[in-house]
Structure 1
Amino acid sequence: MKRLLILGGLAALIGLGAQTRAQATTTLQAPAQPAESTQPAAEAITPDSSRDILLAVANPLSAPPARAGSSLIGYASSYYGAGQKAAVRMQAIKQRYNLREVSSWPITSLGLYCAVLQPAPGVSRDELVSALADDDGVELVQPVQEFSVFSANAADKHTPLSSYNDPYVDMQRGFIATDAASAQAVTQGRGVVVAVVDTGVDTRHPDLKARILDVHDLVGETQAMPGSDSHGTEVAGIIAAGSNNHQGIVGMAPKAMLSIYKACWYAPTVGATARCNTFTLAKALAAINNSSARVVNLSLGGPADPLLSKMLLHLVKQGRIVIAAMPPNGQLDGFPNDVPGVLVVRSSGAGTVMPGVLSAPGDDILTTQPNGRYDFTSGSSMATAHVSGTAALLLSLSPSMDAGALRDLLQRTSKVSDGQLQVNAGAAVDALSPSRRSN
């Protein structure tokens, strides 16, 4: 396998739009819900990978158990192992370069055995990566890089709608602009699983608890802290919040199921953007490789990353629809937007329209928040979630549709709404199956 090398220090992080986060003046509560008891806040998990490297050696062994995800906190896991040759080779490299192992695991889909390693104090990470790239026993070496989820400030706008018994549906600008109600008269996404790689999600939220299939914590082994998982909760609500349940809002695909992959965490600083890194994202993609998810939502981004790109391309080749957010600088040369076959989404009206990039509502989007709340938020993360939900609707009608056909359909049926050309779920569903009725 050709060796890959990234030189240079830890790449600069990317955030979408403004990196501060502000709540709307009025925070909406789930109607008629009893107050839930709260647990004392746990100490924030803030892994420091600024000196870590990721190294892989060839691992020609039979597949281990399919479960993926030894945690970033606690590291070692019984679910991961290596063939004898790979283990011996990795041990020799660690001894030769005086490296401390943080964690290790096989990636069976790529035939690699990976380890997160730390150089000895005083050793330059860049120089070490360069030296390891010339080592015949090394298949891949790179810094452990960091990534950001994409969010921005919010405002208080609303558009009236009265088609559902969900009390806040008339304030869902994205739901209205994409004509989701018309699409849901035909399909609501039943039978489609959407993987959300993000922070965690408030699994007890009344609009989400019936839509969550499973949860994978790839950051830590502590109890989940719903109050700290706002970004993932926002994305999940846009995709698949329940409908006609007398609760809050309506998701784009309210009968789809969600698989949650918590690969990002918040620093303890007020207003901090949630972060992920190569290690946690690799664990998420490895777990998705063995899942039933047809849609993968990546409302995050960062620098180019050889390992993550290989893993994501493998998922694309499996026929999964991967939908990612365009960063605020409009550049598509970083992960995950640089992977062929990934559908990239921008927030309507944000920057220059680019060929092949889909547009969807991303400003002032009302969605779910931790602790049973609702609020407005903005960013291409939210635009991406609208497209992921739309993809679930279309795949429920045409399960064999591939990413290219889906992109072409969404571009062909996009319509002008609020002065912007953007994805229209109603038109896409009608073009795909004009005579079908909702189930």
Structure 2
Amino acid sequence: MAPLLHALPQGMIVTETGIPWGVKQIGAPETWSRTTGHRVKVGIIDTGVDFSHPDLRHSLEPGINLLDRSQMPYDDNGHGTHIAGTIAAANQLHGVIGVAPRARIYPIKAFDHQGSAFVSDIILGIEWCVYNKMDVVNMSFGMHTKNQSLLRAVNNAHRSGVLIVASSGNDGKIGHIDYPARYSKTIAVGATNRVGKVASFTNRSRLIDVFAPGERIVSTWPRGKHREMSGTSMATSHVTGAIALLLAIRPKLTPAQIKACIQKSAVPLRNSKALQSVGELNVARMLKVVERK
């Protein structure tokens, strides 16, 4: 079993609604007059999603439940619902708003109620995303060991034009990040806090492609609730949402072009001399880079 490692335990239930700080931090609202991620297909390989959540129900497609093909990919853990909200929540009056509120979310349930999965189900999830022509896939989980079959699935998705975004891990390690973020054909994401510094819990190395907000992130939670959580999982969902905004206006960009654009447009990190080549996600700058091409 591959544990879903990247949500720090015991998130605090909160009632704050509106545009979460992380969505503001990456500059997403400044770009909504140009793009909202309209109809970009986002696969989320996770624990499923709460289909009845008022912030999500207008953004959701059926997806697939790999643990029980006869059932919808309902979320019995909460992690997948939280990820989906950061990417594409769209409840302006009473709930939270995600980075790309008009993107289409396809939940792929590969993780059980405890947040564990077989690697074989993760691979099936990636294959489902390729077959069903997802534009971008969020993989907010990690493993400490390399798996050749998973590597082949990631590389095949990349060749097929399906970009995978993965989280670096929450062990606070320096010089090491988890798989599959460690694979070169993914976008590897680390977490920052409110003041733009690297979060203490995030794994970090030169293999990270971009950092994004991941500390005390408010998003959707099962049974119509909201919850605050921290982790590189949360950072990853910000990057996935940003890619949806980009693909809505430049749908022919390849995974390699998107990765280069994100890296080039990132804002330098504060007080992080060891990571001078890696920055924090900024959507407005990212769109300017592609508009100059």
TM normalised by structure 2 equals 0.85
Residue 183 of structure 1 pairs with residue 31 of structure 2: yes
Q: Which one of the candidate residues 225, 233, 238 is aligned to 1:373?
A: 225
Q: How many Å apart are 1:207 and its aligned residue?
A: 1.0
Q: For the residues of structure 1 that align with 2:246 and 2:271, how far apart are their CA atoms?
A: 25
1:308 maps to: 150
Q: Deviations over 1:217-239 (max 9, x none)?
A: 01125756956230000000000
Q: How many Å apart are 1:196 and its aligned residue?
A: 0.2
Alpha-carbon contact 1:179-1:424 (below 8 Å) kept: yes
Alpha-carbon contact 1:183-1:427 (below 8 Å) kept: no
Q: How many Å apart are 1:320 and its aligned residue?
A: 1.1
SS in 2 for 1:211: coil
Where does the alignment leave 5 or more consecutive residues of structure 2 unmatched?
193-197, 273-278
Q: How many Å apart are 1:354 and its aligned residue?
A: 3.0
1:317 maps to: 159
SS in 2 for 1:213: coil
Q: For the residues of structure 2 that align with 1:419 and 1:205, how far apart are their CA atoms?
A: 39
From the superposition, tell whether residues 430 and 381 of structure 1 become closer, same or farther in structure 2 (CA, over 3 Å): same
1:22 maps to: 11
1:263 maps to: 110
From the superposition, tell whether residues 225 and 287 of structure 1 become closer, same or farther in structure 2 (CA, over 3 Å): closer
SS in 1 for 2:214: coil
Residue 286 of structure 1 pairs with residue 121 of structure 2: no
Aligned pairs, number:
275
Tell me the amino acid that sits aligned with residue 290 of structure 1.
Answer: Y
SS in 1 for 2:184: coil
Alpha-carbon contact 1:218-1:263 (below 8 Å) kept: yes
From the superposition, tell whether residues 195 and 332 of structure 1 become closer, same or farther in structure 2 (CA, over 3 Å): farther
Within-5 A mapping of 1:63-74? none
Q: How many Å apart are 1:255 and its aligned residue?
A: 0.9
Q: Which one of the candidate residues 86, 96, 100 is aligned to 1:238?
A: 86
Q: For the residues of structure 2 that align with 1:346 and 1:242, how far apart are their CA atoms?
A: 25
From the superposition, tell whether residues 178 and 354 of structure 1 become closer, same or farther in structure 2 (CA, over 3 Å): same
Alpha-carbon contact 1:181-1:426 (below 8 Å) kept: no
Q: For the residues of structure 2 that align with 1:14 and 1:233, how far apart are their CA atoms?
A: 14
Q: For the residues of structure 2 that align with 1:347 and 1:308, how far apart are their CA atoms?
A: 24
1:63 maps to: none
Q: For the residues of structure 2 that align with 1:425 and 1:365, how far apart are their CA atoms?
A: 18
Within-5 A mapping of 1:17-416? 18=8, 20-24=9-13, 27-28=14-15, 168-170=17-19, 172-220=20-68, 228-242=76-90, 244=92, 246-267=93-114, 274-302=115-143, 303-329=145-171, 330=173, 334-348=178-192, 349-350=198-199, 351=202, 353-357=204-208, 358-415=210-267
Where does the alignment leave 5 or more consecutive residues of structure 1 unmatched?
1-9, 29-166, 268-273, 435-439
Tell me the amino acid that sits aligned with residue 170 of structure 2.
Answer: P
Q: How many Å apart are 1:186 and its aligned residue?
A: 1.1
Q: Deviations over 1:388-414 (max 9, x none)?
A: 000011111111212222222222222
Alpha-carbon contact 1:238-1:250 (below 8 Å) kept: yes
Q: For the residues of structure 2 that align with 1:182 and 1:333, how far apart are their CA atoms?
A: 31
1:35 maps to: none
Alpha-carbon contact 1:14-1:327 (below 8 Å) kept: no
- State the identity %: 24
Q: For the residues of structure 1 that align with 2:91 and 2:257, how far apart are their CA atoms?
A: 28
**Farther-moved stretch of structure 1 (420-429 vs 355-364):** 420-429
SS in 2 for 1:228: coil
1:85 maps to: none
Higher relative contact order (CA 8 A, sep 6+): 2
**Farther-moved stretch of structure 1 (223-232 vs 290-299):** 223-232
Q: How many Å apart are 1:312 and its aligned residue?
A: 1.7
Alpha-carbon contact 2:90-2:101 (below 8 Å) kept: yes
Q: Deviations over 1:335-375 (max 9, x none)?
A: 31233311000002135753352100000111000011112
Q: For the residues of structure 2 that align with 1:293 and 1:253, how far apart are their CA atoms?
A: 15
From the superposition, tell whether residues 295 and 227 of structure 1 become closer, same or farther in structure 2 (CA, over 3 Å): closer
SS in 1 for 2:226: strand
SS in 2 for 1:367: strand
Q: How many Å apart are 1:175 and its aligned residue?
A: 0.8
Q: How many Å apart are 1:419 and its aligned residue?
A: 7.5
RMSD over aligned CA atoms reads 2.5
Q: How many Å apart are 1:17 and its aligned residue?
A: 6.7
Query: Which has more radius of gyration?
Result: 1
Alpha-carbon contact 1:189-1:256 (below 8 Å) kept: yes
Q: How many Å apart are 1:280 and its aligned residue?
A: 1.6
